[in-house]
Structure 1
Amino acid sequence: MTTEAAGTTPGDGGVSVLPHADASVEAAVRRAGGEVVPLGDRTRGIVWVAASGSSELDDVLARHPDVSWVQLPWAGVDAFAPTLAGFRDDGRVWTSAKGSYARPVAEHALTLALGVLRELPRRARASEWQADERGRSLFGMRVVIVGGGGITEQLLRLLQPFGVHAMVVRRRDVPVGGAERTVTDAALHEVLGDADLVFLAAALTERTRGMIGAAELALMPDGAVLVNVARGGLVDTEALVAELASGRLGGAGLDVTDPEPLPSRHPLWSLDTAIVTPHVADTEAMTVPLFAERVEANVAAFLGRGEWIGRIDLHAGY
């Protein structure tokens, strides 16, 4: 890779928006002072606007070694894991949208938690008046949030009025503001045993895949609730279904599943203690302007006028 491609000459060249045109992204590039160019010899930065296409991006980068910066479209980059691994040591700067969509995703996580606690899956299906006394309050609950990124930060802010006792589990032992305690993932088993409510907001990597399986679910207290707004692969779905069907766990709120899309006859759809939404915590109406903001900020960094936002740790995988 050339010295230029390694990023020593910020902004020398144009930015190509791929694999197809995107008016909002192109406008963001121009607002930051960048030049939108067709893919070619002048391309030094790439904004990838497709949710997948790892092999296609591989081909683009192999044919254009002078590209020094690549912006990916989502907070989670697991769909591009082969590409990130293949170009890990070539000196390029890689950025994602991590943190950009934190507010709407955190809002959705809270919605799912409150829905499960207030028995909304069962009540929404009811066809007659059921005057029972079921339902729990979030106030004062012991909450564990797995993940230490932007979603967690926003979720902690949303949870603050409820007076919860929040603990964060993350890869690094670095405190997160708003949490009473922060621990590494080595202590996951320890903290699950004391949790009324567990939120999953971690990146999907080889380290985290299947991190909530039968053993972890068994550690959660009777009646505990699991909410996943990260990636379905973090959870062993069969083990979760078994715990919910037994009635031991209090419920689950899932915006992501494994498999995804979730088949129409899957048992999660019919469980009275589960809410499943089809990966819509951040809809297009929410993400388009937020991604444009991220692109604008990173084009400015590409031009040497600021710091990269959402830079990917290629060795950690997110």
Structure 2
Amino acid sequence: MTLKVAVLPTSNTYLDNALQSAGAVVTALDDAQALVWTGSDQTGFPQDLPSTIEWVQLKSAGVRPWIESGRIDSQRTWTSAVGAYSADVAEHAVALLLGCLRQFALHARAGSWLKEQTWGTVRSLRGRTVAIVGAGSIGRSMIPLLTAHGATVIAINRSGREVDGAVRTVTSRELDEALAAADDAILAGASTDETQHLIGAEQLAALGADPRDGSPGVLVNIARGDLVDTAALTDALRRGIIGGAGLDVFDPEPLPSQDPLWGMDNVLITPHVANPRNRMLENFACLVEENLRRFASGTTLKAEIDLNRSY
């Protein structure tokens, strides 16, 4: 039996090819068994889905706004794009870490030769220990990139289940101890009620404690802005409690133009572009094709949303 799929609000060549390859046909929403939603948010999403829709595939990896709005129901299966963009986002995270350690923000803004001032303070990633807070698909994708640069990894997840490539895996209850043991930290966890302001003054102080080379560590956030208490982060950067921050996500977002983070030489900012658009379409289509095949065969879909976990 041919799987009938609605693709809204728009499709693209990658998705068209994915549906064709999986043996599915595009149809109107009222006639479909599944909906692939290509919008970046809920704008324009159908108010009421037909009862014939058994599965909805979202393009977003972060689904907290969808859950909080009550849009995601328990009447059908919903899947996010968790895992689809991991490699590209992981690459961006490591680039931010390297850029902060090498003080790229300061050098890019400089109007003069700063070799004498900075030669002794730029740092290598080699030999450092990096805590990955939220060692899911993105976090796991970072590990080979970090180890290739000579770093070691402490993985932090909810269960404490061992993560391949990490020298140590701990539960989120041991966050502060893991941060104190690390030189730097990368946030890669989901945004949930439990993770809001997961990183505050105490955690930043733990990260900045006992610097291996006399300079406190770096915090990178490519997860969601609300994982960090922005006021506490700004204060820690001003006071030198941590050495720098590489930020792609913010709370609020977009980051207001008057925010002091913009003017800090120890902060490297990118505007939520860790997942490049030109790669996003292709990566999402690959996930859709895989899930179409799984749905047609009756097997478990990738990235099913768990309302109890809020992701």
Verify same fold: TM over 0.5: yes
Amino acid at match of 1:214: A
Counterpart of 1:217? 204
Aligned equivalents of 1:300 and 1:272: distance in 2?
49
Amino acid at match of 1:14: K
Aligned equivalents of 1:77 and 1:187: distance in 2?
26
Answer whether contact 1:88 1:315 (CA < 8 A) is retained.
no
Amino acid at match of 1:218: A
Distance apart, 1:236 and its partner CA: 0.6
Counterpart of 2:48? 60
Counterpart of 1:33? 23
Counterpart of 1:3? none
> How do 1:1-318 and structure 2 match up within 5 A?
14-40=4-30, 42-53=31-42, 56-57=44-45, 59-61=47-49, 64-82=50-68, 85=70, 87-90=72-75, 92-132=76-116, 133=119, 134-222=121-209, 223-304=216-297, 307-318=300-311
Amino acid at match of 1:115: G
| Farther off after superposition, 289-298 or 17-26 | 17-26
Distance apart, 1:60 and its partner CA: 3.1
Aligned equivalents of 2:250 and 2:64: distance in 1?
14
Counterpart of 1:6? none
Q: 1:100 to 1:13 in 2, by over 3 A?
A: closer
Distance apart, 1:23 and its partner CA: 4.1
Gaps in structure 2 of 5+ consecutive residues: 210-215
Distance apart, 1:221 and its partner CA: 2.1
Cα distance per residue 1:102-135 (max 9 Å; x no partner)? 1111110010000000111101101111122220
Distance apart, 1:86 and its partner CA: 5.5
Cα distance per residue 1:47-101 (max 9 Å; x no partner)? 11111117x546232xx12211110102211231235x564432x2211111111
Aligned equivalents of 1:257 and 1:300: distance in 2?
36
Distance apart, 1:257 and its partner CA: 0.8
Gaps in structure 1 of 5+ consecutive residues: 1-10
Amino acid at match of 1:89: S
Aligned equivalents of 1:12 and 1:219: distance in 2?
56
Amino acid at match of 1:176: V
Answer whether contact 1:22 1:49 (CA < 8 A) is retained.
no
Aligned equivalents of 2:304 and 2:159: distance in 1?
17
Query: How many pairs does the alignment contain?
Result: 302
Answer whether contact 1:166 1:181 (CA < 8 A) is retained.
yes
Answer whether contact 1:17 1:26 (CA < 8 A) is retained.
no
Answer whether contact 2:191 2:227 (CA < 8 A) is retained.
yes
Aligned equivalents of 1:254 and 1:201: distance in 2?
12
Amino acid at match of 1:187: E
Aligned equivalents of 2:13 and 2:149: distance in 1?
41
Aligned equivalents of 2:71 and 2:106: distance in 1?
47
Q: 3-state DSSP class of the match of 1:51?
A: coil
Aligned equivalents of 1:255 and 1:231: distance in 2?
9
Distance apart, 1:30 and its partner CA: 2.0
Distance apart, 1:145 and its partner CA: 0.2
TM-score by length of 1: 0.90
Amino acid at match of 1:38: A
Answer whether contact 1:195 1:221 (CA < 8 A) is retained.
no
Q: 1:87 to 1:230 in 2, by over 3 A?
A: closer
Distance apart, 1:155 and its partner CA: 0.3
Aligned equivalents of 2:163 and 2:51: distance in 1?
38
Q: Percent identity of the aligned residues? A: 41
Cα distance per residue 1:230-264 (max 9 Å; x no partner)? 11111011110011011221000001111110111
Q: 1:152 to 1:285 in 2, by over 3 A?
A: same
